[in-house]
Structure 1
Amino acid sequence: MHKLSDEIKKSYENLRIPLVIMGPGASGEFEPLVISDGFLEQNNISREELYGYYGDKLKVGLFDRVHPAEEEKLKKISFDFLDKKTDYDITFRVRLDDGFHLMHGIGYWQTMEDGTDVAFIVYNDVQKHEQSLLEISNKYKLFQNDEFYIDALTNLPNINYTNKYGTNKIQEIVAGGGTPVTLYADIDSMQSYNRRYGIKRGDDLLVLVANVLAAEFPHAMVSRIFSDHFGIVDEYHGEEDIISKIEKVNSEIKLRAYGTTTGLNVGIFVGNENVTHEEAVDHAVRANKLVGEDLNKFYRFYTEEDDTLYNHQRYIIENFDKAKEQGWIKVFYQCFLRIETGNGMGFEALARWMDPVHGLINPAEFIPALEKYHLMHEMDLYMFETVCKEIRIRYEEGLPLLPVSINFSRQDFDYIDVVGEINRIYDKYDISKYGMDKSYFYIEITEQGLATATDKFYEQLAKIRENGYKLWVDDFGSGYSSLNVFSNFDIDLIKFDMNLLMNLDSRNGANRVIIKAMIDVAHKLGIHTLCEGMETAEQRQFLLEAGCELGQGYYYHIPESLDTILDRLHKDIPIPKWESEDERNEREKDYRGETGEMSPER
C-alpha cells in the first residue's frame, strides 16, 4: 500500500479543488488515499464516510448518487481507468441536496518515487460555479440541456457541438500520447428504409444507431452530424480494432432493427497532432463517399489518393446534367447474336461518357459515382430515352430495327415508377408507328440487384412484363448467384457473367459444367440464355454445344455509336446479317414448342 507523508497528505486534503487520489490498498484493491476538502464540500459527505469505502464497497458507494441514466457509462469508464489506465474525461450528473448537478471529471496517472502508480481525479461542479466557469458551463451544461448543442432525436451531440469542440477532443487524445481517428458513417439506403417502413421506424433506426455507436465507442465523441450521418472521434488502437468495432456495430444494428438494413458505410481517417477536426472529417467524408457498392465492403480508410478520386467523382456529379444536355453521354450499341445461325438478334445499349475535359470517362468511374449519389435512375432513363429517340434515325436510314436491352439499376426502383416512366418515354416518341411494340425492349436487372429485392421491387418487376416489356437478369454468376432467381421471379432471359466464359478451363473445366447445368435448368423453366464475353471461336463452339441461344462479345461485335454505324452505312460498307422479325418470332414459337414447359403467361 502506498503511503503519503502526513505533510503532503494534509496539503492535498486542504485543497478547495474537488480531488480524489486513488491507490492500491493493503488488499490490492484501489481505495482513496487522499480526499480534498473541496470534494467533501461539493458532495456533502464526511472524510470518514468516504475513507470507509474500499474494495467492492467502494465500487458501489462511489456511484450511489449518479443519475441512473449515466451510471453504467460512468462505471465502465471509471473501472477501465483504474484497471486498464484508459482516459478519464467525462461529464455526468450527481444527486446533491438541491437536485442533480452536472459534474466534469478528469483523471490522470502519476508514478510515485517508490514506483507505485497513483490515480489523481479532479471533479468540477459545472452548475455551482456557473459564473466563474462560464466556458465550461457552455460546453457541458448546454450539451446536456440546450438543443443548440444536442440532437433532439438521438440525444447525441450535434454538428454545433462537434464544430466547436471536435478539435479539442483530438488534441486531448494527442496530449495523452494517443493517435486520433475520425469516422464518418451513414446508414446505407436510409431513404429506401423510410419508404418501406415509414418515417417513425426510420427515426427508431436513427436512435438505435446512435445508441449502438455510443455503446461501442464509450470513450469517443459520438455525434449526429445531420440526417443519417454520424461522426466519431476516438483514440486509434489499430486497423483490426477499428474494423472489429464497426463490424460489431453493423451486426447489432441488423439484429435489432425493425426492418431489413445493411447497416452503416464508414469512412475512416487516422489523424495526427497537426490535424484539425474539420480536416479530419473532410478526409473521413471522402473515404465514406468512395466506399464501394460491394455488399461486403462497408468501410474505407482514407489515403491521399482518395482526394483525386473524390474530386473526380465530384466532377462527374457536378457535370452530370450538363453531360446529358450537351450529349457528352452517348449510347453505344453492342450486338448479341444467335449462336446457331451467326445472325445478329439485337443490341445492348451501353453508356459512354465522352468528356471535353477528361476524354473518355470509363463506366467503372461514373456508374459508382452516380450510384453513390443516387442518380442512376436519371442515367438509366436518359439511356432509354436516347435509344427511343434514335429509333427514328435508324428507321429513316433503313437500318434494321432490332430489339434493344437497357440496363436499369436496382436503386432506380426506390426513386421512380420505372414502368410508368418508360411507358411515358415509349409513348412520347410514338415507337409503335415504326412497327416496334414493347417486346422489342429488354429491361436488364443485375442479379446483385435481385438479391436485395423488396415487395415493392417485386411488384414493379412484375409490371415490366405485364406491360409487354421483356425482363432479363444480367451478370448471373458474378458472385451473387442463387437458384432463387429462377423460382422468385418471372424472367425471360438470364445473361451469364463474362468471367464464367473467360475462365472456362480453370479448375479442371468447372465453369463448363456450371454453364451447361445452368443452361439446362433455365431451358427447362422456359427461360432463354445469353453468355457475355464471347471472344473466340472455341468459346462460341462450346456455347453452341451447351445449348446457349445467344452470345455477346468482341468475337462478333464491339460497342459502337449510331454515328459510327451510319458512317459505315454511308460508305457502302456492308452491314452484318440481322435476324428478321419473322425469324425471331418463329424461333420463339419453336422454343416454346421444344421445351413444352414455358408457363402460359410467358
Structure 2
Amino acid sequence: MPQLSTDDFQQFAQTLEELEVSKNHLEHAQQIAQIGSWEYNIPDDMLTFSAYARDIFISEESDGNPPLDKALAYIHPEDYDKTSAAVWEAAEKGIGFAADFRICHGNTHDIRYLKAQAEAIWKDDKPYKLVGVVQDCTIQHYLENQVEASKKRIQLILDHLTVGLWMKEYATEKVVYVSEGAGELLQYPLYELYEVPGIWDDLIHPAERKEVLSRQEILKRGETLQHQYRIQCGDGTLKWVYDQTIPWFNEQGELTHLFGMLADITHEVEMRQKLEYLATHDALTALPNQRSLYEKLDTLCERDASSGFALFYLDLDRFQLINDSLGYTFGDQILKRVSNRLVSVLPDDAYLARISSNDFVAVIENAPSQEFLLNLSERMIETIEMPFTIDSYELHITTSIGISFYPEDGDDKLSLIQNAHAALHRAKQLGKNNYQLYSMSKDITSYKKFVLEKDMRKAIENEEFEIYFQPQIETGTGIIKGAEALIRWHHADWGLVSPGEFIPLAEENHLVHKIGHWVIENVCRQLRSWKDQGFTLRPIAINVSPIQLMKKGLVDVVAKQLSHYDIPAKYLELEITEGTLLKSEKMVLNTLKDLRELGIKIALDDFGTGFSSLIYLKEFNPDIIKIDKAFIQSLNAENNREAAIISSVLHLAKGLDMKVIAEGVEEHSQLEFLKQNECGECQGYLFSKPVSRKTFEQMLVTGYLKPSKPKPHMPAKEERRKYYRLVFPNPLLGNMTIVEINERTVNLGSAQVLILDIGLGGLKIMTSLKLPVHSNIKLNFNVHLMGESFQLEGRLVWKNEAKGDTFYYGVEFNISEQEKDNLAAFVNKMSALQRLNQQIPDTYFIEGSPYAYIKNHHL
C-alpha cells in the first residue's frame, strides 16, 4: 500500500471539505426546490434518502436507511397498490418509473401529495440501483384545488346570474366563454352562441343594428361601451337589454379580447314607458295632457316661424251642470265620447289634448287655408252638438272655441294658450256654442282679466288689498249702526279694482279662501284698534264667498281671530247670498249653524234677486235681510210693483223678527219710502259711498250722517273748454286700443266704444269697461268721420257712472298740430251740417238706447 504524503492528506481533507460544502449546497437547493433525492440498492434492499427527502416522509433519524417495503408503507392506502407495484416492477426489471401519490407523514400523519421519478442502474447485467427524486407538491396541490374550487364557485355564480356574460377574441371574433344566463336571456342553446357565425349581430333588432354596431368603434380607443337596445331572441320575443362591453389590451397595447354583460331591462323599460305615458296622458280619455301639450308647443315654437300652426281651445258649455245634476260618472262618460268625436273629425296629423276637466286643446299644422280652419271649427261644434244617449238619458252638449295662431298671436306656448283662452272667453260672452279668433277678440276686457288673474297671487303676498267701509245708517235718525267691509285692490296698472272684477277670478283659482281669511283677520284687527283708541264699536259685515262656506275650516278661522284680538262675536256679521244655500244646502247650513253658535250674526244679501224661497227664511232663519239695490233704485211714483214687493218683505221680516237693511239708497224719495214703511237701516250713496279706513274713523267720531242734499237744477254753464266740442245727434261707434301701460308698450287689439262728442282737445265716450283714470295708460281711438279714418292718441282724465253698469269717460288728446288741423276740417263740416239739420254722411251712428246697445253688443 503506497504511503500517503502530507500533501496528499491535505488534498484529501480539502476534497472532503469541498464535498461537505457541496452536500450542504445540494441539501439547501433541495429544500428551496422542495425536491429530495433517494437511492435504492436493489441487492441489499437498502433505501437511502437525502435530508429533505427524509423530511418529506418522516423526520425521525432513528429510522436510518429503511428497506423499501417500510418506506412504501407510508403511501396512502388508496394509492398504495398502484404506486408500490410500479416501484417493485422497476426494481425487478431495471426500468424507470414516475408516479403521483399521497403519503401519510410518519411523524405528523398529515396527507402529503408527492411526485416521484427514478431511473434504473445496471451492474453485471443486473438491475443494481434505482436513483430518483421526490417532490412535495402538497402546497401546490392545495392551491390548485382552491383555484379550481374558486373557478367552480365563480362559474356557478356566473351561470346563475340573471345577466348574460361572454368573452370573445377581438381579432377572430371567436367566442371563448358564454354564461348559462346568456343562453337563458337570449333563448339560444349555448353551443349555437359559441359556434354559429354572426349570431350575435343577428340578435340585434334590424331597426337598431346599424347604430348599435357603429357605437362599438369606441372600444378601439379603450373606452367602455354602455348602451340599450332591442334584441330578437331565439323564441321570437323582443327584449330590451342593457349592454356593457369592456375592451382588453395586452402588454403591447393591442386589443385582444372583449368582455361583455347583457341584462334584461324589458320590465324596467316598459315600466318607464308606462310611467312616461301616465305622466303625459290623461287617464280618463287617453289623450295627451297639459304637460305633453306644453312639450309639443315648445317643439313647434322652436321651429322656423314660417311653419305656422293654429291652436284651438275648446270648453264644453255648462258642463258642470251635468256633474252636479247627474253625477261625475255621467260626466266622465261624456268626456270620453267627446274626445272620441273630436278625434274623428280632426285631421289625421292633428294633435288633441285634454288639459283640465272639460277643456281640450287641438293643434293643427299645415292647414291649407284659414277657411279650412273655420270650417273645421264649425264641424267640431256640430259634431259635439249631436245628442248623447247614456243610460236612457238624452243629453245635448255644446262647445265654445277660441283660436289663436302662431306666430301672429304669440311666439311661445303660454301666449298662444292665453290668447286662445281670451278668444274662448269672447265666444262665451257672445252666447256660447260658437268660435272666435283671437285676432277678432283680443279685447281690453280679456286682457284685464288675464292681468288680474296673473297678478292676484302676488297681490296676496304683497298685501296690495285694502278694506273700505260703507256705513249702514238708521233710516230715521242717521245714526251709524254699522258698516259693510268691502275689499279693494290697488293694482299697479289698473288702479282701484272692485271685488266684482277679481273675486270671481279668485274663486276660479281657489285663492278666495286666502283673500277671505285676510279680510276676516284685518276686520278683527281693525275692531281691536278702534277699541284701543276709544271708538264706540259698531258691527262690521263681511261678504263670504259660497266657496268659502263649502270648505271646512271657516268656523275655526273666525273663532281664532275673534279670540286672538279679543273681539266679541256680536261685532262681526257675515253676509251670504241666496244662491249660496243652493250650492250645498246641508254643508252650508251646518257651517252657518256653527257660526251662529259662536255669536256671529248672519245676513242674507241681495235678497230677491236669486232663487228666493220662503222655506229658506223658515229653516235658515237669518238675522238680517238685505234688500237688493235693484228693487230700491226702481222705486218711483209710477212703479207700484217694487213698492209692493219691498213693503211685503219689510212686513214679513218684522213678523219673523229679522232686521232689514236696504241697499243702494241714492235718492231722498227712496229714503222717505223706507222711513214710511219702517225699514230699520239702509246704506247707499245718499249717505256715503264706500270710504277708506281713515275717513270712516272720522265718521265714527260724530256717530251719524246726514243724507246728501238734492242737486238743484243749474242752467248750462258757458263752455270753458279750450276747444269747441261737437255733440253728436246719436252716439258714434268707434274703436279703442290700449297702446301703453306704465311706459310699457302693449297691443290689445280694439274694444268698441260709443263716442258722444268730439273736439280738437278730446272726446267723450261711453262703455261698460272699468278703466282707471290716470296718466299711465295711453289710448288710441279709431274714429270714422264722413268716410275718413282718424287715429287719435289720448288719455282718460275723468270718469262718471252712467246707469246699467256703464260709465262715461273724458279723453284728452295728445295729437300733433297737423292732426288737429285735419280733424278740425271734419268737425267744422259736421257742425255746419248739424246747424242745417242735415244728416252727416258716411258716419256710423247707432240708433236707439245707448245702454241697450252696450248691453246687447257686450261693449
TM-score by length of 2: 0.41
Instruction: Give yes or no for contact 2:606–2:628 (8 Å, CA) kept in 1.
Output: yes
Correspondence 1:342 to 2:470: no
Q: CA deviation at 1:350?
A: 0.6
Which digits, 9 at most, give the CA deviation of each residue in 1:441-465, with x for residues without a partner?
1111122323323432222122221
Q: Give matches, 1:448-487, under 5 Å.
A: 448-487=579-618
1:412 corresponds to: 548
- 1:211 corresponds to which of 337, 349, 370: 337
**Using the alignment, how far apart are the partners of 1:331 and 1:421 within structure 2?**
19
**Using the alignment, how far apart are the partners of 2:637 and 2:287 within structure 1?**
53
**Using the alignment, how far apart are the partners of 1:388 and 1:293 within structure 2?**
39
**Corresponding letter in the other structure for 1:404:** I
2:674 corresponds to: 543
**Using the alignment, how far apart are the partners of 1:187 and 1:533 within structure 2?**
34
Which digits, 9 at most, give the CA deviation of each residue in 1:181-229, with x for residues without a partner?
8233379898xx89x99xxx75774344222453488414684433425
Q: Give matches, 1:299-318, under 5 Å.
A: 301=436, 303=438, 306=442, 308-318=444-454
Which digits, 9 at most, give the CA deviation of each residue in 1:79-133, with x for residues without a partner?
xxxxxxxxxxxxxxxxxxxxxxxxxxxxxxxxxxxxxxxxxxxxxxxxxxxxxxx
**Corresponding letter in the other structure for 1:414:** M
Structure 2: 5+ residue stretches without partners: 1-272, 301-308, 365-372, 707-859
- 1:369 corresponds to which of 499, 505, 514: 505
Q: CA deviation at 1:503?
A: 1.5
1:383 corresponds to: 519
Q: CA deviation at 1:255?
A: 6.2
Asked which structure has the greater CA Rg, the reply is 2
Summarize the Cα distance change of 1:439–1:299 in structure 2 as closer, same or farther, 3 Å threshold: farther
Instruction: Give yes or no for contact 2:603–2:625 (8 Å, CA) kept in 1.
Output: yes
Identity of aligned residues (%): 24
Instruction: Give yes or no for contact 1:206–1:228 (8 Å, CA) kept in 2.
Output: no
Name the one with the larger strand percent: 2
**Using the alignment, how far apart are the partners of 2:486 and 2:471 within structure 1?**
11
**Between 488-497 and 377-386, the greater mean CA deviation after superposition:** 488-497
**Using the alignment, how far apart are the partners of 2:406 and 2:622 within structure 1?**
54
Q: Give matches, 1:34-49, under 5 Å.
A: none
3-state SS in 1 of match to 2:550: helix
3-state SS in 1 of match to 2:537: coil
Q: Give matches, 1:354-365, under 5 Å.
A: 354-365=490-501
- 1:185 corresponds to which of 296, 309, 315: 315
Please give the root-mean-square deviation of Cα atoms over the aligned residues, in Å: 4.8
Q: Give matches, 1:7-406, under 5 Å.
A: 151-159=282-290, 182-185=312-315, 205-215=331-341, 218-220=344-346, 223-233=352-362, 236=374, 268-269=402-403, 281-287=417-423, 301=436, 303=438, 306=442, 308-324=444-460, 326-406=462-542
Name the one with the larger helix percent: 1
Structure 1: 5+ residue stretches without partners: 1-141, 170-178, 432-436, 579-602
2:575 corresponds to: 444
Correspondence 1:576 to 2:704: yes
**Using the alignment, how far apart are the partners of 1:254 and 1:275 within structure 2?**
44
**Using the alignment, how far apart are the partners of 2:555 and 2:434 within structure 1?**
34
**Using the alignment, how far apart are the partners of 1:165 and 1:521 within structure 2?**
62
Q: CA deviation at 1:365?
A: 2.5
Which digits, 9 at most, give the CA deviation of each residue in 1:26-73, with x for residues without a partner?
xxxxxxxxxxxxxxxxxxxxxxxxxxxxxxxxxxxxxxxxxxxxxxxx
Correspondence 1:491 to 2:622: yes
2:659 corresponds to: 528
**Using the alignment, how far apart are the partners of 1:254 and 1:365 within structure 2?**
41
3-state SS in 1 of match to 2:505: helix
**Corresponding letter in the other structure for 2:535:** L
- 1:562 corresponds to which of 683, 693, 707: 693
Q: CA deviation at 1:401?
A: 0.2
**Using the alignment, how far apart are the partners of 1:291 and 1:410 within structure 2?**
26
Instruction: Give yes or no for contact 1:216–1:249 (8 Å, CA) kept in 2.
Output: no
**Corresponding letter in the other structure for 2:482:** G
TM-score by length of 1: 0.56
**Corresponding letter in the other structure for 2:314:** Y
3-state SS in 1 of match to 2:631: helix
Which digits, 9 at most, give the CA deviation of each residue in 1:351-378, with x for residues without a partner?
1222344432233322232122121121
**Using the alignment, how far apart are the partners of 2:377 and 2:615 within structure 1?**
37
3-state SS in 1 of match to 2:482: strand
**Between 283-292 and 411-420, the greater mean CA deviation after superposition:** 283-292
1:126 corresponds to: none
Instruction: Give yes or no for contact 2:468–2:691 (8 Å, CA) kept in 1.
Output: yes
**Between 374-383 and 450-459, the greater mean CA deviation after superposition:** 450-459
Summarize the Cα distance change of 1:151–1:574 in structure 2 as closer, same or farther, 3 Å threshold: closer
Summarize the Cα distance change of 1:291–1:464 in structure 2 as closer, same or farther, 3 Å threshold: farther
1:517 corresponds to: 648
Instruction: Give yes or no for contact 1:265–1:291 (8 Å, CA) kept in 2.
Output: no
Correspondence 1:423 to 2:523: no
**Using the alignment, how far apart are the partners of 2:487 and 2:605 within structure 1?**
16
**Using the alignment, how far apart are the partners of 1:250 and 1:397 within structure 2?**
65
Instruction: Give yes or no for contact 1:494–1:530 (8 Å, CA) kept in 2.
Output: yes
Q: CA deviation at 1:319?
A: 3.9
Equivalenced residues, count: 409
Q: CA deviation at 1:322?
A: 4.6
Higher relative contact order (CA 8 A, sep 6+): 1
3-state SS in 2 of match to 1:411: helix
Instruction: Give yes or no for contact 1:268–1:284 (8 Å, CA) kept in 2.
Output: yes
Q: CA deviation at 1:160?
A: 7.1
Q: CA deviation at 1:398?
A: 2.5
**Corresponding letter in the other structure for 1:539:** Q
Summarize the Cα distance change of 1:568–1:338 in structure 2 as closer, same or farther, 3 Å threshold: closer
**Corresponding letter in the other structure for 2:345:** H
Summarize the Cα distance change of 1:491–1:574 in structure 2 as closer, same or farther, 3 Å threshold: closer
Summarize the Cα distance change of 1:293–1:515 in structure 2 as closer, same or farther, 3 Å threshold: farther
Summarize the Cα distance change of 1:485–1:466 in structure 2 as closer, same or farther, 3 Å threshold: same
Instruction: Give yes or no for contact 2:285–2:339 (8 Å, CA) kept in 1.
Output: no
Q: CA deviation at 1:559?
A: 1.5
Summarize the Cα distance change of 1:339–1:219 in structure 2 as closer, same or farther, 3 Å threshold: same
- 1:504 corresponds to which of 635, 643, 646: 635
Instruction: Give yes or no for contact 1:377–1:408 (8 Å, CA) kept in 2.
Output: no
**Between 486-495 and 234-243, the greater mean CA deviation after superposition:** 234-243
**Using the alignment, how far apart are the partners of 2:353 and 2:392 within structure 1?**
19
Which digits, 9 at most, give the CA deviation of each residue in 1:520-573, with x for residues without a partner?
23333333221101112210111122332211101122211222244678xxx8
Q: CA deviation at 1:339?
A: 1.6
2:717 corresponds to: none
Instruction: Give yes or no for contact 2:581–2:589 (8 Å, CA) kept in 1.
Output: no
3-state SS in 2 of match to 1:560: coil
Summarize the Cα distance change of 1:272–1:443 in structure 2 as closer, same or farther, 3 Å threshold: same
3-state SS in 2 of match to 1:151: coil
**Using the alignment, how far apart are the partners of 2:398 and 2:566 within structure 1?**
44
Instruction: Give yes or no for contact 1:212–1:249 (8 Å, CA) kept in 2.
Output: no
